Amino acid sequence: MGHGGNVIAELTADHDEVNKLFDELMAQPVGSKRRRELADRITVELVRHSVAEEQYLYPAVREHVEGGRTLADKEIRDHAEVERLLKALESLEPTDDRFDQQIATLKTSVQAHVQDEENRLFPQLADACSPAVLAELGDKIRRAKKLAPTRPHPSAPDTPPANKLLAPGVGLVDRVRDYVSGRRHHIA
Ligand SMILES: [Fe+2]
């Protein structure tokens, strides 16, 4: 979702939004269907966020920040770990004990990513770039994120391709990633 502001404000607002979704999920009754719907929503938001960061944030970090290559490589490894956890979550029903365990592991991993970016990466980027560069990156990231619909379920559009893209369940991570990164324009 677009929030406005420079790249750091935009991505920090994404982090806050995902945190709120985790809180909302945890507030639902254990085993409820709503937990699955919120897990799908978290999946879509995290994948969109990751792709936007990979397309615009990390190249800028590599270019402008001292030691940026190493920093960017670490963040990309963290994204791969988060996606591995999201994929493991895709097929779990909320009535399965592993669902809540998987959510807890995912939340820990996402919070580590958030802390790392907000406390280490963003301040270094802010020091290294002019306000104009940071603002332009914010615009690019907003445009990248707009390429994907935000709500997987239950209000997903019922016309192709969004209905197939956003149908919950197995393959959601790959479908969203392909769609947002422009690798696939038609969802088979
Ligand atoms: Fe992030």
Secondary structure (H, E, C), the chain: CCCCCCHHHHHHHHHHHHHHHHHHHHHCCCCCHHHHHHHHHHHHHHHHHHHHHHHHHHHHHHHHCCCHHHHHHHHHHHHHHHHHHHHHHHCCCCCCHHHHHHHHHHHHHHHHHHHHHHHHHHHHHHHHCCHHHHHHHHHHHHHHHHCCCCCCCCCCCCCCCHHHHHCCCCCHHHHHHHHHCCCCCCCC
pLDDT of the residue at 64: 96
Nearest one of 80, 102, 134, 88 to 22, comparing CA atoms: 102
Distance 148 CA to ligand 1 centre (A): 17
Return d(Cα 144, Cα 163) in angstroms, integer. Answer: 20
pLDDT of the residue at 98: 95
Distance 102 CA to ligand 1 centre (A): 20
Q: Output the pTM of the full model.
A: 0.86
pLDDT of the residue at 133: 95
Average pLDDT, the chain: 87
Distance 50 CA to ligand 1 centre (A): 7
Q: 95-152 pLDDT, tens per residue?
A: 999 999 999 999 999 999 999 999 999 999 999 999 999 999 999 998 887 765 555 4
Distance 158 CA to ligand 1 centre (A): 30
